[in-house]
Copies of this chain bind each other. A is one copy, B any other.
Amino acid sequence: MQELSIRLPQIPDIAPLEPFDADLLRAMYRQMVLIRQFELKVNELFLQGIMPGTIHLSLGQEASVVGACMALEADDVITLTHRGHGQALAKGLSADSLMAELFGKETGCCRGKGGSLHVGDMSVGALPALAIVGASSPIAAGMAFAFKRQETGQVALNFFGEGTVNKGDWHEALNLASVWKLPVVFLCENNLYGVSTHISEVMAIEYVAERASSYGMPGSTIYGNDPIIVFQTVMAAAQRARSGGGPTLIECLTYRRGGHKRDDPGAYRPREEVEAWFKTDPIPAFRARLLKDERFSPSALDVLEEAVTATIDAAVDFALASDTPALTAALEFVYAD
């Protein structure tokens, strides 16, 4: 493991893209751009006062979520955090149904009953998000338990932030997953802050991945703004999980471009740190890298980006045009039949 600074990014050597399939790389880039544009649009709608609720944007963390989700099979399952739009899109949730959910519309992925904090879609393997820090880790382990018992070969991937690892539920989940060798990947998006609080204030060790040893499981800290590194690391962990090797803890170092949520200017972060990390913005970096590869041209990427813009615009139109739920919907789905 390369030595990384916990405050300032240290970008590892860039792996050559040649060994990777062009479709894969294109899909990666598209997903990252999709998330970026989605979040920027959401921000705009919020500023316009059109969008209800509260919003935690994932701008800047696209490489980690896309790298991770692309390393999974379609029927593998992820759990999402409060910062879940990117995770959901990365796993294949449609922008339409996500956008409609944020507007509380009947056509939303949760029929408008979840909202930003609870987005997800079981049909693409995204368990609707749980917004209580730490709560999803045992549940991810439980889905993995079912996969193991039912011998489906599926894997569960649990997303969480570095602020989460001081929570009891997280600890209990890692222990259980390890003791029962469950096919689960614990993926930490370490963006250095939980709301305004820097990781060094809440942990007396430097890296989250150091905690893996407490559970006898492998752990690694990687540069999270390179989707390829994340992809490879998660792929290996998923393979290990699928073949009965048990869980892995992966820590992706990354950074939020904005504050914790929409109304947070993030002023608690040192300017030097912000500037250094902003330079590592995963999207221009990956674009530049793709363009060094002869299989990609600027115009092709422009077309891709424009197509994404159209998708997002269509999603907004779809959401705005959709009906709000009937009032009787409030009484539905409390219990299953």
Chain A residues at the B interface, C-beta cutoff of 8 Å:
166-172, 175-176, 178-179, 201-205, 210-211, 213-217
| Partner of A215 from B168, B205, B215, B217 at Cβ < 8 Å | B205
**Complex: A204 Cα to B248 Cα, angstroms:** 13
Please tell me if the beta carbons of B216 and A214 are within 8 angstroms of each other in the complex. Answer: no
A213 partner residues in chain B, CB cutoff 8 A: 205, 210, 213-214
Closest B residue by C-beta to A177: B204
| Partner of A172 from B167, B204, B205, B217 at Cβ < 8 Å | B167
A171 partner residues in chain B, CB cutoff 8 A: 166, 168, 171-172
Q: List 21 A-B contacts (CB under 8 A).
A: A166-B171, A166-B175, A166-B176, A168-B168, A168-B169, A168-B170, A168-B171, A171-B171, A175-B203, A175-B204, A178-B204, A179-B201, A179-B202, A179-B204, A204-B215, A204-B216, A205-B213, A210-B213, A210-B214, A211-B214, A214-B214
Given A167-B172, A175-B202, A175-B203, 11 new contacts (CB under 8 A):
A166-B171, A166-B172, A166-B175, A168-B168, A168-B169, A168-B172, A171-B172, A179-B202, A205-B216, A210-B214, A214-B214
A192 to chain B, nearest CB (A): 16
**Complex: A202 Cα to B175 Cα, angstroms:** 8
A169 partner residues in chain B, CB cutoff 8 A: 168
**Complex: A178 Cα to B201 Cα, angstroms:** 11
A4 to chain B, nearest CB (A): 18
**Complex: A217 Cα to B168 Cα, angstroms:** 18
A177 to chain B, nearest CB (A): 9
**Complex: A214 Cα to B175 Cα, angstroms:** 13
